[in-house]
Amino acid sequence: MEIWIDADGCPVTALTAALAQQYKIPCTILCDTAHVLQYPGAKTITVSKGADSVDFALVNRVQKGDPVVTQDYGLAAMCLSRGAVPIHQDGLLYTDDNMDSLLFFRAAAKKIRRAGGRLKGPSRRTPAQDRAFAAALERLLQEAAP
């Protein structure tokens, strides 16, 4: 098992790397050249800038059962198809049961933006969100432990 982090814009990269180190699980951070990320106990792979370059690099490396931290629904769907276990930065586990509605919402939001509409962005991140994510990731790691 290895934890993978889609780190471009991920607010829980340091937290994930710390938990991976605590559980002695390899952790790899993927980012593009616009970001320079280094955390103790984690390996960083930097890919060239480009639309979805990090996503494709991650999907090509992930294995069945690997946790993947991402806020990108499209990447989460691709990881699910590979048998990985994607988790959102707020602790939501992506599943086959919730993926269709998440992708539908993403497509509807894109349609509204293309038509000139505006959507309210996410609220400022709270410590409660970090705690929810940490608890969900720890449960995932404990369940996967031999």
Q: Who has greater pLDDT, 39 or 34?
A: 39
Alpha-helical segments (H) within the chain: 13-22, 53-59, 73-81, 96-114, 127-144
* Fold designation for 3-144: Rossmann fold (3.40.50)
Q: Answer for the pair 62, 39: CB distance below 8 angstroms, yes or no.
A: no
User: Tokens in use for 51?
Assistant: 């639309």
For 59-113, what is each residue's pLDDT tens digit? 999 999 999 999 888 899 999 999 999 999 999 999 988 877 777 776 766 777 7
Residue 24: what pLDDT?
A: 94
Angstrom CA distances, 7 to 17, 110, 127, stand at: 11, 22, 19
Q: What is the mean pLDDT of residues 43-55?
A: 89
For 52-69, what is each residue's pLDDT tens digit? 899 999 999 999 999 999
Q: Is 70 exceeded by the pLDDT of residue 146?
A: no
Give me the DSSP letters along 31-73: EETT-----TT-EEEEE--STTHHHHHHHTT--TT-EEE-S-H
Task: Compute the mean pLDDT over every residue in the chain, rounded to the nearest whole number.
Answer: 89
Residue 108: what pLDDT?
A: 67
Strand partners, 44: 29
Q: Who has greater pLDDT, 20 or 146?
A: 20
Q: Is 70 exceeded by the pLDDT of residue 39?
A: yes
User: Tokens in use for 137?
Assistant: 């990731």
